[in-house]
Chains A and B, each alone.
Chain A
Amino acid sequence: METLTALFAFWREQAGKLGEQTLQHIGLTAASLLLAVLLGVPLGLLLSRRPRWAPAVLGLAGVLQTVPSIALLGFLIPLLGIGPKPAIFALFLYSLLPIIRNTLAGVRGVAPAVVEAARGLGLTDGQVLRRVELPLALPVLMAGIRTATVINVGVATLAAYVAAGGLGEFIFGGIALNNPVMILAGALPAAGLALAFDALLGGVQRLSTRRLEQVGAALLVALPLLGGLYLLPRAAGKLLAGFSPEFVGRADGLPGLTRAYGLAHLPSVVLAPALVYEAARHADVDVIDGYSTDGRIRAYGLRVLRDDRRVFPPYYAVPVVRPALLRAHPELSAVLAQLDGQISDSAMTDLNYRADYLHQDPKAIAEAFLRRRGLWRDPRPAAAGAPVVRLGSKIFAEQYILAELYAALIRGNTALAVQTKTGLGGTTICFEALRSGAIDMYPEYTGTGLLVLLQPRPAVVDSLGGRPAAVLGYVRAQFRRRYGLEWLAPLGFNNTYALLMRQQQARRLGIVSVSDLGGYLRRQ
């Protein structure tokens, strides 16, 4: 019941978006169906004349059908980029089999006597096809179109992964945010569309052959019009944004940003997080969300727009330790402090770039960095039975590198042995490992400590106002009080959400900060 209320509230709030997505969804389905009918029906008719080719063609279409939809989109991205093209093409491939197969089955189902009589009366091959075979095949052909439509309405939800819009945007946003209401907000209309189309075409199928001919003709007119629906929202606006579903749904993501900067005129599409950077790189979209220290920023020549109104919460990286470690080995404090404030955003971006794009070993990256900064000491041979410091990290490159940096410092400057437990999955796993003493230390981000681990009331978050020092002070005090854990000093970089544009375009448009972007959009 609560979910239902929340659902209606969501729809009311997002009515514009819901309408747009529904139109896009219908448009995607119709456009791909039109292509499939235009190719599939003639192909099916050809196969009815050349039955020897039928197994090969149907087999190929069948194989296409079995390719998982996500994988198919994946194959198409390198060929067609992102956006409507791969989505429509994938849907087109999926609808091909039912349409070819049913056209062929429909023509084959026409009684041979009727065809023979028609030829015997003097109808030409073309007339036999148009006046006899095609009309009599229509009920079966319509059943194929019906099947294809229902498949397409379902698969079209995946279009949101490649920035093609549709009701999948809500669904993927909901999945990313673990928000069942948002998932339902997209899933229910999609299911409703599928049922409505199914019922509609089911009704059509039962019409007499004569009526079916009229409906078939009407369908050929209607499909391009419906497909055109899809193009409407895209016509306006010079800059196009592509956002990951989570960013669109989170309060501190796009909604917060829109409110603070008035980015109302920024048309946006949703796409899979993995594709966001690629989309910006290939100029499929112009503005994307990302993380400010991501290696791809450097690799793809992107620019981080300065968050001059501090909408994104600060995510400064800070080592969190068990105080017992520092009490037992007081010399460690000074060693760990060597990295305080040493790594800027661009420095961390560079390190990530080496790991993610040059595929260098995190250990080698850490050593090279320390050597450049004159912090490198050759590791001392650890004495047998020396106490062990256990370092943890989450499961991505930045955390691996940070863990290796601290490991190298400890090995070079103390007699302690070091054990790295990298790849401990997500935030919660690292945090629980630290609390239980399975590890002694791991790097955490202030924003994550605040919003994911402490989860204070919104009033508290608002009172901190996104000021880095205030947030650090709050999490440090709370962790000490609640868990007896210690946040040391920040490393210097802020791995937060960021809006990114291509360097070149940003320079040409004179956009440095998010405010500049807002100003540019308002001028357009």
Chain B
Amino acid sequence: MPTAPPPVIRVSHLGKRYGAHAVVQDVSFALAAGETLVLLGPSGCGKTTLLKMLNRLVEPDSGTVEINNGNVLAQRPETLRRGIGYVIQQVGLLPHYTVAENVAVVPRLLGHAPAAIRARTAALLTRLHLPPERYAGQYPHQLSGGQQQRVGLARALAADPPIVLLDEPFGALDPLTRASIRREFRELDELRRKTVVLVTHDVTEAFELADRILLLDAGRVQQLGTPRELLFRPANDFVRRFFAAERLALQLRTLTLGDVFSVEKFAAEQDKETAGAPAASVALGSTVFNAQTTVHEALESLTGAEPSPSPRCTVAELMAAFGAALQREEDAWKR
């Protein structure tokens, strides 16, 4: 067993109070490189304050934040922040800077070469579906909300920081735009490699994006774990109640085909290709799914536009397996 790599972010016993009101109390966690942590909780639970303590926009009253094994207090706050991407709900693009200039803010602060900055900006804008030849020279007020948030994201990624902090980045967008940007976000190669901390109060969003979720209430950690752990192994009543309304939808999104189907369902030929690894694909009706596909995605695909020879049968089969899996999880938890 190789030793686990040192955590990129380590937060220990962090606390912050405003007057008599304790906003964050004794929060600790550690994040490995490439991990995405979602800070989740109701409004006023302290998740934004917690996020801002990571890049010292808010200074903690107690506890420490270490990034790459160094206390953040050892650095000047500006230097620290230039190495951490930051995106907020209201975007906060500089209204007197063009799109390209907004994206170039941090690389310029870091003294990158102008040619390199131009190339990087163009590449990022292209990847975020904002063709630079059209958008680079525009001002923020000429863009839609979704476009502005994409520029905000490009700005945070421009200097290729290893860590990105996002404070309700999709909160101000309409549901359709939000869903599409979230998908882009998830599929963005840039972000996959980064350690991400994201604040949201949207449960679905949290489940969709998180490797792990830190659920907060009144400044205290209620539970820290994978989405599946929070859903199927709630640590306390608050956690349970918090997901109650959307439980089924979350379960559909959380359980994968690999979870609901027994091993014999897996196609044997796939096993050979990924020797030693767990079974990788499942055949449902005429379609072969990856084992990591969620039940939700499989359902959408099966009931989608393309009529398959016997869809009803396989949907029923899927739902039955799903129900059985749920039962197994419940039983496991009760023991």
Contact = CB atoms under 8 A, between A and B. Distances in A.
A267 B228 CA distance: 93
Interface in A92-125: 111, 113-124
Contacts of A151: none
Contacts of B105: 118, 121, 123
B91 A113 contact: yes
A121 B57 CA distance: 10
Contact of A136 (B82, B86, B95, B109): B95
Interface string B237-277: 00000000000000000000000000000000000000000
B81 A113 contact: no
B95 A114 contact: yes
A124 B78 contact: yes
Interface string B76-91: 0011111100101111
A125 to B, nearest CB: 9
Interface string A264-307: 00000000000000000000000000000000000000000000
Contact of A122 (B81, B93, B152): B81
Interface in B145-178: 152, 155-156, 165
B95 A122 contact: no
Contacts of A118: 92, 94, 105
Contact of B57 (A114, A116, A136): A116
A209 interface: yes
A285 B80 CA distance: 64
B162 to A, nearest CB: 14
B49 interface: no
Contact of B106 (A119, A121, A208): A121
Interface residues of B, number: 25
B106 A122 contact: yes
Contacts of A124: 78
B134 interface: no
A120 B155 CA distance: 11
Contacts of A490: none
A21 to B, nearest CB: 41
Contact of A113 (B78, B80, B88, B96): B88
A123 B109 contact: yes
Nearest to B80: A122
Most buried by A among B55, B92, B155: B92
Contacts of A114: 92-95
Contacts of B96: 135-136, 208-210
Interface string A69-84: 0000000000000000
B81 A121 contact: yes
B57 A132 contact: no
Contacts of A122: 78-83, 106, 109
Interface string A116-148: 111111111001000110011000000000000
A109 to B, nearest CB: 12
A113 to B, nearest CB: 4
A216 B141 CA distance: 23
B155 A121 contact: yes
Contacts of A210: 96
B94 A120 contact: no
Interface residues of A, number: 21
Contacts of B88: 113, 116-117, 120
Interface string B103-121: 0011001000000000000
A117 B82 contact: no
Nearest to A126: B78
Interface string B261-298: 00000000000000000000000000000000000000
B82 A121 contact: yes
Nearest to B89: A113
Question: Which one of A117, A122, A131 has the greatest number of beta carbons of chain B within 10 Å?
Answer: A122
A167 to B, nearest CB: 39
A112 to B, nearest CB: 8
A118 B91 CA distance: 10
Contacts of B155: 121
Of B86, B106, B152, which is in contact with the most chain A CB atoms at under 10 Å from its CB? B86
Contacts of A123: 78, 105, 109
A117 B95 contact: no
Contacts of A131: 94
A205 B55 CA distance: 37
B92 A111 contact: yes
A119 B81 contact: yes
Contacts of A209: 95-96
Interface string B199-230: 00000000000000000000000000000000
Contacts of B109: 121-123, 127
Contacts of B81: 119-122
B82 A113 contact: no
A120 B83 CA distance: 10
Contacts of A115: 92
B106 A117 contact: no
A111 B88 CA distance: 13
Interface in B55-101: 55, 57, 78-83, 86, 88-96
A117 B91 contact: yes
A210 B81 CA distance: 26
A131 B102 CA distance: 12
Nearest to B139: A208
A210 B82 CA distance: 25
A117 B55 contact: no
Given A135-B96, A136-B96, A210-B96, A120 B55 contact: yes
Nearest to A208: B96
Contacts of B95: 111, 114, 136, 209
Q: In the complex, which of the residues B57, B90, B106 has the most CB atoms of chain A within 10 Å of its own CB atom?
A: B90
A127 B86 CA distance: 17
Contacts of A113: 88-92
B57 A119 contact: yes
A38 to B, nearest CB: 24
Nearest to B55: A120
Contacts of A111: 90, 92, 95
B86 A120 contact: yes
Contact of A117 (B78, B79, B80, B93): B93
Contacts of B91: 113, 117
A15 B109 CA distance: 56
Nearest to B92: A117
A510 to B, nearest CB: 67
Given A114-B95, A135-B96, A210-B96, A120 B90 contact: no
18 contacts: A111-B90, A113-B89, A114-B95, A116-B57, A117-B90, A118-B92, A120-B55, A120-B88, A120-B165, A121-B82, A122-B80, A122-B81, A122-B106, A123-B105, A131-B94, A208-B96, A209-B95, A210-B96
Top 4 nearest A-B pairs by Cβ distance?
A117-B92, A113-B90, A122-B82, A120-B86
Interface of B: 55, 57, 78-83, 86, 88-96, 105-106, 109, 152, 155-156, 165
Given A117-B93, A123-B109, A131-B94, 14 more contacts: A116-B57, A116-B92, A117-B91, A117-B152, A119-B81, A120-B55, A120-B57, A121-B106, A121-B109, A121-B155, A122-B106, A122-B109, A123-B105, A209-B96
